[in-house]
Amino acid sequence: MIYLDHAATTPVPAAVADAMYDVLRHQFGNPSAQYPYGRESAALVDRCRAAVAQGLGCHPEQLFFTSCGTESDNWAISAAVWQGRHVGRHIITTALEHSAILEPCKWLAQQGYEITYLKPDRTGHVTAQQVADALREDTVLVSMMLVNNETGCVFPVEEVAQLLKARGSQALLHCDAVQGFLKIPCDPVRWGVDLMSLSAHKIGGPKGIGALYVAPRLKNLRPLLPGGGQERGLRSGTEATAQIAGFAKAVELYCDGLDEKRRHLAAVRDYCRERLLSIPTVAEIGRGDAPHILSVSLPGYPSANIVADLGAQGICISAGSACHKGKASHVVSALGLDKKTAAGVIRVSFGPETTFEEIDALHDALLAHKNSRFPML
């Protein structure tokens, strides 16, 4: 099996699974309990929080564990609008965000908030100037992803943070860094980001665990889940210690030789771009800067058919975001592509273990698909 859908989820290394199994079997205590098993589990959570925080470059007390990136995004948005409830009811985001941002914004619009959606250019990028043009005195939140999960385009989060500071804006800045964490430089403390969402399963960790970074200037953050007082009273619920251990181990493993991993990913992406664009009519979608994602289109050939055909041959890719289950995504729609091009969009995404030989196999399979079928559109 050739797995080229790392932007959807990633394989779990044996060391991560082993770390989780050890916790499940031998460190099963409730971290809130006062006897030794509980204290050991509490210490484990503290060590793991420190490990993930080190990967992000923040203090451990600024990091809160959640169940996933979607939960982190929802918490960030609800906390930000609560924090700015006396400032206004205007939010700025992009038309390319993950549904974990767009759906809460739709709900807030129904509650009377005004949402400005920044549109991308034809390459899939948005600019800090667009934020500047949309910024108002009643803006309470700017939410911008770090890396788009379909095109690989990197968004100017650091530049937007500098803009908000220069303008003296009271708006908080949230960044969905689920697709960018560790793949590219990511420094919320130095950049001046207020809230940043992470997820473990994009970097070799387990599903079911994420995190939210909260800047020190956010005081009296609104709790996500009131209850037993876990996560310093802000996200109650017994800690998922095995998933937390897996998250920490995944960060540790990914950070080992990080620069070389990034160079390898970029080399694989560039090679994949060269090989796929050598196929007649194949076109790149957007111009992604992230090293692990490439989006292309085979115009006239439905992407669902391509994914199914290559999947039958043991090659795993996706038709845009896996979260859309084969339907045309809002990202593709926002790029203003013609019907044939939009219908043929596929996403290829890479991991540290992806080889050039696997890219050659992808090229051959896609070329064979094109040569053995008539375009349907």
- List the catalytic residues: 323
Using CA atoms, how far apart are residues 292 and 266, in angstroms rounded to an integer?
Answer: 7
Using CA atoms, how far apart are residues 79 and 84, in angstroms rounded to an integer?
Answer: 9
Measured between its terminal Cα atoms, the distance across the chain in Å is 30
Phi first, then psi, for residue 7 (nearest 5°) are -75, -20
Phi first, then psi, for residue 65 (nearest 5°) are -80, 145
Any bridge partners for residue 349, and if so which?
5, 293
Using CA atoms, how far apart are residues 82 and 190, in angstroms rounded to an integer?
Answer: 25
CB 176 within 8 A of CB 145: yes
Give the number of other CB atoms < 10 A from CB of residue 309.
Answer: 17
Residue whose tokens read 């599903």: 207
Q: What residue type is 72 in one-letter code?
A: S
Using CA atoms, how far apart are residues 322 and 325, in angstroms rounded to an integer?
Answer: 6
Question: What does the longest C-alpha to C-alpha distance in the chain come to?
Answer: 68
Using CA atoms, how far apart are residues 57 and 338, in angstroms rounded to an integer?
Answer: 42
Give the number of other CB atoms < 10 A from CB of residue 88.
Answer: 18
Using CA atoms, how far apart are residues 344 and 369, in angstroms rounded to an integer?
Answer: 12
Using CA atoms, how far apart are residues 125 and 131, in angstroms rounded to an integer?
Answer: 13
Using CA atoms, how far apart are residues 39 and 49, in angstroms rounded to an integer?
Answer: 15
